[in-house]
């Protein structure tokens, strides 16, 4: 049985999402890891599975670090939910509106 017919692990979409990489890239990394393990072990054996998963985890971790390095360490700040970014804008808008309403000589 070739590695192309091997199905990817069910954990692959979750792993890709947690690492911040596209699912297509994670699938390609799985194919590489699977092919490397198939060269040393019989496909389907416990040794094959262990080596393929270990290699996949190492490749995904390496790719995740590469992508995080491309953002100059700002990746975590860039991925904050939009609500947190908008909270500061909403607060400043509310403050400005309150000041405007209390300002002497305004019609509001």
Closest CA to 41 of 104, 33, 22: 33
pLDDT at 27: 96
Cα–Cα distance for residue pair 76/54, rounded to 1 Å: 26
Cα–Cα distance for residue pair 30/25, rounded to 1 Å: 9
Q: The whole model's pTM is what?
A: 0.60
pLDDT single digits (tens) 51-70:
999 999 999 999 988 877 66
Question: What does pLDDT average to over the chain?
Answer: 82
Cα–Cα distance for residue pair 42/49, rounded to 1 Å: 9
pLDDT single digits (tens) 30-53:
999 999 999 999 998 999 999 999
């Amino acid at each position: 049985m070739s590695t192309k017919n091997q199905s990817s692990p069910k954990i692959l979409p979750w792993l890709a999402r947690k690492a911040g990489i596209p699912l297509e890239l994670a699938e390609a990394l799985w194919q590489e890891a699977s092919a490397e393990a198939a060269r040393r072990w019989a496909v389907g054996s416990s040794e094959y599975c262990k080596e393929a998963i270990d290699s996949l985890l190492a490749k995904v971790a390496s790719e995740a670090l590469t992508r995080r390095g491309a953002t100059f360490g700002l990746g975590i700040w860039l991925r904050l939910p939009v609500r947190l970014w908008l909270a500061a804008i909403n607060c400043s808008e509310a403050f400005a509106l309150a000041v405007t309403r209390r300002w002497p000589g305004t019609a509001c």
